[in-house]
Amino acid sequence: MNLISHDSPPHVPPSAEELCAAIRGHHIGEHPVLALAAEFGTLYQTMQASCTHQCCCPRVELVLAVDTWAADHLPVPCGGARMHTESLGAVIDRLARLQVHAYHLLMTADLTQDPQVHAAWYRLAELVEGYTDLTTELTRRSLRLPALGDGG
């Protein structure tokens, strides 16, 4: 497991585009969260290929690693910042799972007859938009995340 180094990483989360590329294993930049996103992608691709959904431990470790990065590097929220319902790690975990599923459907389904493909990509687009809103609010300090270990 590639856990985050605490050597002065950037203090803003990666963009949704960078995150999605990293989950696919493409263009993994220097940001430590992108390396973790790539590991989420690999984990969910392995699970998809083996048709198993019992891969909890590595997932939990990756969520905790992202959440630790967030706790150590994101700006301190303003006093009146509202609480988000999930941790950053939980959101990235869900985004990785949905992205791998959407790509799997795209590659395996009969596109002309399978509404699941459209539904999966629509859900992924909604979550990408939600991630962008989340990271914008975090960098503006108008949103706070659950306490470390409480949001996954």
Whether this prediction's pTM lies above 0.75 is answered by: yes
- In the chain, where are the structural domains located? 16-144
pLDDT tens, position by position, 115-151? 888 899 999 999 999 999 999 999 999 999 998 765 5
The H or E element containing residue 30 is: none
How many C-beta neighbours within 10 Å does residue 92 have? 27
Do β-strands 82-83 and 143-144 pair in parallel, antiparallel, or remain unpaired? parallel
| Cβ contact 15:133 at 8 Å | no
3-class secondary structure, 142: coil
H helical segments located in 74-150:
88-108, 115-139
pLDDT tens, position by position, 73-110? 999 999 999 999 999 999 999 999 999 999 999 888 77
| Mean pLDDT within 2-25 | 73
Instruction: Name the band, by pLDDT with cuts 50, 70 and 90, for residue 2.
Output: very low
